[in-house]
Amino acid sequence: MNDCTLYELQLMDLAAGELTEPDLGAVRKHLQQCADCSAELAREIQMRELLGGLPAAACPEAVTNRLQSALPLGADRTGNGRSSWWPAGLGLVAAALLAVLLIPGWMNRTVAPESDLAQSEIHEFTDAEISQARRDVIATLALAADILERSREETVADVFGARLPRIINGSLRSPLSDAQGTTDNLKTAPTGGNG
C-alpha cells in the first residue's frame, strides 16, 4: 500500500502525458501489478474526459456591456474608475431630458380656476413664448449632447461650470414661476438672477 501512495500522485502526470523516465517505467511496471492503481488511473482519465469535455461558456454580452458602462468614459483615467463623475453627469442629462419632455406640455396647458392654482392669474402663452420654449428645448438637447461628448475627457466642473444654473434659472424659467414656485425644484444653484 505504501508503494501505491508513492505512485498514486504520479498518475496525474501519467494521464497528462507529462511523466518522463525513469518514473514512467516504474509507474507502468507498478500498474501491471496493481489493480487499485490501475483503477485509480482509469478514474483520473475519466475525470479528464468528463471535466475536460465540458463545453466552454461564453461570457454573456450583458456582462461586458455592464462592465464597459461602469467604467469612466474618459480613456485613461487612473485610480478608482468607479468614482468617476459620469453617472452624476448622466443623471443631470436625464433630468434635462425630462424637463424637455415635461415643459412643452406644461406650458401649453390652461390652468383651470378650480385647480390648486386658482389663486394665480390664468396665463395663456403667446406664440412667441412657445417658440422661445421650443428653442430652449433644442438648446437643452444640444447641451445634453455636448455634456455627453465632453464627459469623455473632462470633469464635472469642466463640463458644467456656470452653465447649468444659467440654463435652468434663465432659459427654462417659466412666467408662472414667480407666482407658483413651480420651477423651484429646478433651481439647483444660487447664482444667476433668481426671480
Partner 1 sequence: MKRQIYEELLASHKDRIYSHALYSLRDAHDAEDVTQEVFLKLWDRYESIDPEKVGGWLTRVTHNLCIDHSRRRKAQRNNFGHPDHEAVDTLVAVRGGLGDPEQNLLLSQRQAALLDALETLTPETRSVMIMHYFQDMKLHEIGSALDKSVSALKVQIHRARKSLRLVLTNVAETPPQAQRGTG
Q: Which residues bind partner 1 (CB under 8 A)?
A: 8-9, 12, 16, 18, 40, 42-44, 46-48, 50-60, 62-64, 66-68, 70-71, 75-76, 78, 80-82
To the nearest whole angstrom, how small is the minimum distance from the Cβ of residue 124 to partner 1? 53
Which residue lies nearer to partner 1 by CB, 76 or 124? Answer: 76
The dihedrals phi and psi of 99, each to the nearest 5 degrees, come to -60, -40
To the nearest whole angstrom, how small is the minimum distance from the Cβ of residue 29 to partner 1? 20
Which residue lies nearer to partner 1 by CB, 49 or 178? Answer: 49
Residue 135 C-alpha cell reads as 428653442
Cα 153 to Cα 73, 86, 147, 157, 173: the distances in Å are 8, 10, 10, 12, 30
Which residue lies nearer to partner 1 by CB, 84 or 183? Answer: 84
To the nearest whole angstrom, how small is the minimum distance from the Cβ of residue 163 to partner 1? 27
Which residue lies nearer to partner 1 by CB, 40 or 136? Answer: 40
To the nearest whole angstrom, how small is the minimum distance from the Cβ of residue 7 to partner 1? 11
CA dihedral 145, 151, 156, 157 (to 10 degrees): -90
Q: Which DSSP category does 184 fall into?
A: G
- Give yes or no for a contact between 103 and 133, defined as CB atoms under 8 angstroms apart: yes
To the nearest whole angstrom, how small is the minimum distance from the Cβ of residue 62 to partner 1? 7
Residue 60 C-alpha cell reads as 454573456
- Give yes or no for a contact between 150 and 158, defined as CB atoms under 8 angstroms apart: yes
Which residue lies nearer to partner 1 by CB, 1 or 57? Answer: 57
